[in-house]
Amino acid sequence: MRRKISKKKRTGYFLNDDKPKESCGLFGIYDNNEAPWLTYLGLYALQHRGEEACGIVASDGKHLSIHKGTGLVADVFNEDAFKNLSGFISIGHLRYSTTGSSILKNAQPLLVDYLKGSLAVGHNGNLVNTLELRRKLENSGSTFQTTADSEIIVQLMARCKNSDVIKRLIYALKKIKGAYSLVMMTKDRLIGARDPLGFRPLVMGRLGTSLCLASETCALDLIGAKLVREVEPGEVVIITKDGIKSVRAFPKQKHHAYCIFEHVYFARPDSFIFGDTVYSVRKKLGAHLAKEHPVDADFVIPVPDSGTSAAVGYSQESGIPLEMAIIRNHYIGRTFIQPSQHVRDLGVRVKFNILRDVIKGKRIVIVDDSIVRGTTSKKRVKAFRALGAKEVHFRISCPPHKFPCFYGIDFHTQKELIAARMTLEQIRKYLNVDTLGYLSLEGMLKSVSCPKENYCTACWIGKYPIKCEGRVTKKVLEKKCCGV
């Protein structure tokens, strides 16, 4: 397994601390002799959802085998890794930690043995009653091997006395609260589940006779599978040799809580989630942004890759030409070492380079999807100024983040958010831009198909669909900080 590089020696995530970080990516496939390899490809397509760790579990119908490690999919898996992974069922997981440290023992899928056999679990999302449940379980004798909230699901299943794994799962789901999409497997079945409000996406696909589960449709596209449908909020799907069985773990809710930031930033532009293609939504975000915050400028410049689609929409709506003046280095991974403050200050240039000839003497509109902390955006604007930009206008394709997220985005406190500490004018001065414009909440909600009541907008307005119980922080289960 790949050696873990200490946090002090590696960069901030994606070399960009202005970006929110999302929890995980999931993939699973049933009834395919190349299941582990196809799962590898599925994870490869979903790499944007998590770069800390990854893993694959496979079953030949009798035994479950596992390989996982810290780092990118291409680093953790090679031909040797697949020598011990064989079978017709497989699930895979990509991790970005929103609960629990970034260490190997927290990598998923979690593989456990219990009285009725073996079970593997992969989780995308975040639970909000984590600490309460953990303390109750430990006080009644449970022993935990990780500091990830996902293990609580397994421990609850183990407590249930019913012999049927699906009934055990439903028992656990009724105890937990928060955001979760799950892929699970036993030696002879593949299982998917989604929380009652549907925070995180989960889709089902078909490849010949094989059935798949994935966080996004881009993973289905890569292996040539066709989208069947989304797993519904509150639904558990069980895939066996007899086909698909659907069980309602919860009654249908009046409204859902789809994370609209999946459309703004997290999901790949070629994915179809929550009833929309991500690319088309981002173009609409950019078009609404142009209507709300017009400016007289020479070029629209996207921040790649997440700002590109919105910049296309802004350009088309405003009539201002689009220029790809920021060139991204796609070969920078999480292990880029920053040995000195001087090199750390060059971090933005390591990942992005600016075309001097395009922007010198020009009035430019930079379009990005979000600003969380503001430090990287400030450095980027400074670079544009230094290269001779005459005017710099900043446009953001979502509202200002003012409140923490507890459902799978890695900002748990308001002090991390620049918009919670500064006014719009203060942010403009801090970034040193001529004008600054965020898309309104109304403009964002006009860009998606589902009724606005079906989206979670808590990180913008502070109205939470599920109340958080006690402290919810990334290291809430670490003994050194909470005493559990």
Query: 130-139 and 150-159 helices cross at what angle (nearest 10)?
Result: 40
Predicted pLDDT of residue 97: 61
**Hey, what's the torsion of the CAs at 165, 170, 172, 175, to 10 degrees?**
-170
pLDDT of res. 481: 40
Q: Which CATH class name applies to 7-257?
A: alpha beta
Q: Comparing 477 with 265, which gets the higher pLDDT?
A: 265
All residues at 6 or more sequence positions from 483 whose CB lies less than 8 Å from its CB, including other chains: none
CB 376 within 8 A of CB 18: yes
pLDDT for position 15: 40
Q: What's the CATH code, domain 278-449? A: 3.40.50.2020
Mean local confidence (pLDDT), 398-419: 90
Q: From the candidates 24, 218, 459, 468, give the one annotated as an active-site residue.
A: 24
pTM for the structure as a whole: 0.89
Phi, psi angle pair for 136, to nearest 5°: -65, -45
What pLDDT, on a 0 to 100 scale, did the predictor assign at position 322? 98
Compute the distance between CA of residue 187 and CA of residue 329 in angstroms, rounded to an integer. 42
pLDDT surpasses 80 at 225: yes
Number of C-beta neighbours around residue 473 at 10 A? 17
Q: CA triplet 198, 199, 203: central angle to 5 degrees? A: 60
User: What is the predicted pLDDT for the residue at 408?
Assistant: 87
Those residues with Cβ within 8 angstroms of residue 33's Cβ, 6 or more apart along the chain or in another chain:
88
Percent of the chain with pLDDT over 90: 76
Please give the torsion angle defined by the CA atoms of residues 87, 91, 95 and 97, in that order, rounded to the nearest 10 degrees. -120
Structure confidence at residue 113 (pLDDT): 87
Q: What is the DSSP string of 191-240?
A: EEEE-TT--S--EEEEETTEEEEESSHHHHHHHTPEEEEEPPTTEEEEEE
pLDDT at 203 over 60: yes
CB contact at 8 A, 216 and 267: yes
Determine the Cα–Cα distance for residues 447 and 90; give it in Å rounded to an integer.
Answer: 36
Neighbouring residues of 167: CB distance < 8 A, sequence distance ≥ 6: 160
CB-facing half-sphere around the CA of 407: CA atoms within 13 A? 29
Buried b (16+ CB within 10 A) or exposed e, 21-34: bbbbbbbbbbbbeb
> For the chain, what are the domain ranges?
7-257, 278-449
Q: What is the mean pLDDT of residues 365-385?
A: 95
| Top-ranked range on mean pLDDT: pick from 12-26, 163-177, 400-414 | 163-177
Quote the pLDDT of residue 484: 39
User: φ and ψ at 79, to 5 degrees?
Assistant: -60, -35
DSSP three-state, residue 271: coil
Q: How many residues would you count in the chain?
A: 484
24 is known as an active-site residue = yes
- Please state the rounded mean pLDDT for residues 48-53: 92
Q: Coil, strand, or helix at residue 79?
A: coil
**pLDDT tops 70 at residue 339:** no
Q: Average pLDDT of 171-199?
A: 97
Does residue 460 surpass a pLDDT of 90? Answer: yes
Q: What is the pLDDT of residues 409-450, one digit of tens each?
A: 877 688 889 999 999 999 999 999 999 999 999 999 999 999
CA angle 282, 285, 290 (to 5 degrees): 130
d(CA 220, CA 25): 13
Average per-residue pLDDT in the chain? Answer: 88
pLDDT of residue 335 exceeding 50, the answer is no
- Name which residue leads in pLDDT, 304 or 8: 304
What would the two tokens of residue 134 be?
């953990």
Question: Nearest 5°: phi and psi at 354?
Answer: -110, 135
Specify the 3-state DSSP secondary structure of 453.
Answer: helix
* Cβ pair 202, 181 in contact under 8 A: yes
Dihedral, CA of residue 139, residue 145, residue 150 and residue 155, to nearest 10: -50
